[in-house]
Structure 1
Amino acid sequence: MPVIELHVMQGYSADEKTRLCAALTNAVRIVVPAPPEAVTVMIHELDPAGYMRGGAHRSPAPALPDPVSLVRNYLTAMEAREIDTARALLAPGFSMTFPGTAPMTTLEELIEWAKPRYNFVTKTYEGFEALQSPQDAAVVYCRGTLSGEWPDGTPFSGIRFIDRFEVVDGRLTRQDVWNDIAETKANP
């Protein structure tokens, strides 16, 4: 039974501590073959007045935003065609690659690329997974199925997709997309 004890400064919200406990539980389970209920995480909070580093009292760093929520907000904004809302979630230098394309750097490029392919697309999500990469990016995968309408007005549904996002400092830096649209369109 793995037991994790963590010391943090006071100041993190209950939601942030819950995210931290879940992430630590998952981190242990990627190495130790334990079910979630066998992993214990205890957070010990320190009063800032009782903590010093380098001879100075310190304040806790603000928690990073939940990368899964950020990705969900982006995808929701894109589906609703709230382009300015989606754009505000992108970091400078953002790039995205879709099947058969070179990397694109603006949402307008994506919209132009998509126009001859389909009238609209909606996503049904089967799951989201997040992990921290060694390169300082949180990586978020989302997977599920696509539904929508071909340019001739014919509906489609049940097309598999997976998106991979990189998030740094609370902004999206990269999106890679894989789906079976071409195969479905070629073999209706």
Structure 2
Amino acid sequence: MADRVTEARDVVAAYLAASMAGDAEEARRYLAPDCVIVFTGGRVMNDPAEPPAFNARRYARVQKRPLRTDAVADAATGCVHVWTTGHLHGAWPDGTPFDGNRYVDFFAVRDGLIRRTEVWNDSAEILLHRAGLAETPL
């Protein structure tokens, strides 16, 4: 069991490294052919080239600073569930730098491939705050 968990953590780490380097071809190696990517706002994507293309409209540049990775085997599905949490840092389209933007990424890994991934972060809340539209201060 521990070997499956370690393998899943390694698959996720390799996928994230390739993804953050902008290497969609390398990132595809870690995804099952029918992998579903659920990005911020519930946007469904099917290819690792899609999130960076979306991010290119939202950020001038963005990188992840992982703080923690947790993984557990799910006997019901046969998957290992992996969560990475940390902060995004980079710059908004106008060049204004940012840091400390929280994120959570979820991965379901089975047979050495990512079957599903979901992404959440604070970017929308931060953008609302910058536009003066946040209901309460951040």
1:175 match = 117
> Is 1:148 matched up with 2:90?
yes
Q: Shift of residue 99 of structure 1? A: 1.7
1:103 match = 44
Q: Shift of residue 111 of structure 1? A: 2.7
Work out which of the two has the higher radius of gyration on C-alpha atoms and give 1 or 2. 1
> Is 1:130 matched up with 2:71?
yes
2:21 match = 80
Structure showing the higher strand proportion among its residues: 2
Q: Which amino acid is the alignment partner of residue 139 of structure 1?
A: H
Relative to the length of structure 2, the TM-score reads 0.85
Does structure 1 conserve the Cα–Cα contact (< 8 Å) formed by 2:37 and 2:117? yes
Larger RCO, structure (CA 8 Å, separation 6 or more): 2
What are the Cα deviations for residues 124-180 of structure 1, in whole angstroms up to 9, with x where unaligned? 111100001120111000001110111111111101111100101001111111111
Q: How does 1:19-168 map to 2 (within 5 A)?
A: 23=2, 64=4, 66-133=7-74, 134-168=76-110
CA distance in 1, matches of 2:88, 2:19: 14
Relative to the length of structure 1, the TM-score reads 0.63
1:42 match = none
Q: Shift of residue 119 of structure 1? A: 2.2
Q: Shift of residue 84 of structure 1? A: 1.2
Does structure 1 conserve the Cα–Cα contact (< 8 Å) formed by 2:22 and 2:52? no
RMSD of aligned Cα (Å): 1.6
State the percentage of identical aligned residues. 35
CA distance in 1, matches of 2:60, 2:35: 25
Structure 1 segments (4+ residues) deviating >4 Å: none
Q: Which runs of 5+ in 1 are unaligned?
A: 1-19, 24-62
Q: Which amino acid is the alignment partner of residue 168 of structure 1?
A: R
Q: Shift of residue 113 of structure 1? A: 2.0
How many residues are matched? 128
Q: How does 1:2-17 map to 2 (within 5 A)?
A: none
Does structure 1 conserve the Cα–Cα contact (< 8 Å) formed by 2:108 and 2:115? yes
Q: Which amino acid is the alignment partner of residue 60 of structure 2?
A: N
1:186 match = 128
